Amino acid sequence: MKSEIDTVIQRTQRYWYVDGLGEIAVGVMLLIFGLYFGLLGLVQNPTLQMVVALGQPVLFLLLWWLGGKAVRRLKERLTYPRTGYVALQRKKKPLSRLIIAAITAGAVGGLVGLLQALSSGSQVIIPVVVSLLLALSVAIIARRFGLLRFYLLAVYTALLGVLLAVLPISEDQQNIFIFALFGLGWIVSGAVTLARYLASTQLPSEDGGL
Amino acid sequence: MKPETGAANLQSISGVDRLIHEPARLMIVTILYASAGADFLYLLRETGLTKGNLSAHLGKLEEAGYVKIEKIFRGKIPQTLLSLTPEGRAAFENYREQLKQIVQSISKE
């Protein structure tokens, strides 16, 4: 049974998600990735194709950095003046956990690669596996922070993967749609949360102090 | 309930940190324990206390060395940032452990 203390701890830890801004940022990032895959499909020149493909990690890091900066700035304007500021606790992860995470990431990457090699010609397995892994990650966040809407996002992600697997579309189109539609889901979820947050809170007329 | 275990329970209850045990302060300390710090406005909204009451509780916690109070500027906006000191964190963990033991001993009887 969850105690009142545990409830307060969980509510404090999920404060980052209260305004939906983080979800919108992740959604935009995924949407851009979808468009990027679309661009990759359009490029015919092999050299240019390689350059665009190599730019993938750079794009990811750039978007992650820009997204984080934008979210922090928006929170300072919208969230903190309304409902206050909470500094996230950044616990140092022990080396054993980092090793386990690296092994898991490697195993998942290997599994996806193996499935890709085994399912040559079949476009069913990859979107299903990718979406189920993403859905699982989202469900873990939902459980950890007690966020109902993240459970809905997890279901949406899993269903999206299955739907894209059975649709008669090419592998390139699958890549575009899986990122773009997953991103749209996050944006919608974040936008609804933001609208509800703004409607239920207001800027205080005078600032609080001690 | 055996009289000796009842007395032991009473003794352990009386041994808990009263500074943290007070409901409003327990909520403040719990919030600060779950984060690296929070501002006055967040605590005000979450605890439902008045400004004066919250200030008084924070003053007591600061006096005990459990809470650190910093006045900072976020851009041009002044902000009061509160965080638990290592002593405050240890005191809260100790309080939680004591509570757990009391609940366990009561449920065993």
B42 vs A10, A84, A207: nearest CB: A84
Residues 84-143 of A with CB under 8 A from B: 84-90
Residues of chain A found within 8 Å of residue B79, distances taken between Cβ atoms = 85
Q: Which domains does chain B have, with CATH numbers?
A: 3-108 (1.10.10.10)
The boundaries of the domain holding residue A192 are 11-200
In a domain, A209, yes or no: no
- At A129-179, the pLDDT tens digits run 888 888 999 999 999 999 999 999 999 999 988 888 888 877 778 878 888
Q: Which of B21, B29, B42, B77 to mutate to test the interface with A (most CBs of A within 10 A)?
A: B42
Span A13-38, pLDDT tens digits: 999 999 999 999 999 999 998 888 88
Rounded (5°) CA angle A2-A75-A14:
10
For residue B44, the distance in angstroms to the closest alpha carbon of chain A comes to 8
- Closest by Cα among A53, A51, A55, A73 to A63: A55
ipTM for this prediction? 0.83
Q: Does B98 touch chain A (CB under 8 A)?
A: no
- Residue A162 is assigned to a structural domain of this protein: yes
The answer, for A170 touching chain B at a CB cutoff of 8 Å, is: no
pLDDT in tens, chain B (109 residues): 455 555 566 666 667 888 898 999 999 999 999 999 999 999 999 999 999 999 999 999 999 999 999 998 877 778 899 999 999 999 999 999 988 888 887 777 6
Q: Do A85 and B26 touch (CB under 8 A)?
A: no
Number of domains in chain A: 1
Q: Between the CA atoms of A190, A138, B27 and B10, what dihedral angle is there, to the nearest 10 degrees?
A: 160
Residue A78 near residue A21 (C-beta atoms within 8 A): yes
Decide if A6 touches B, using CB distance below 8 A: no
Question: Percentage helix, strand, coil, to 5, in chain A?
Answer: 80, 0, 20
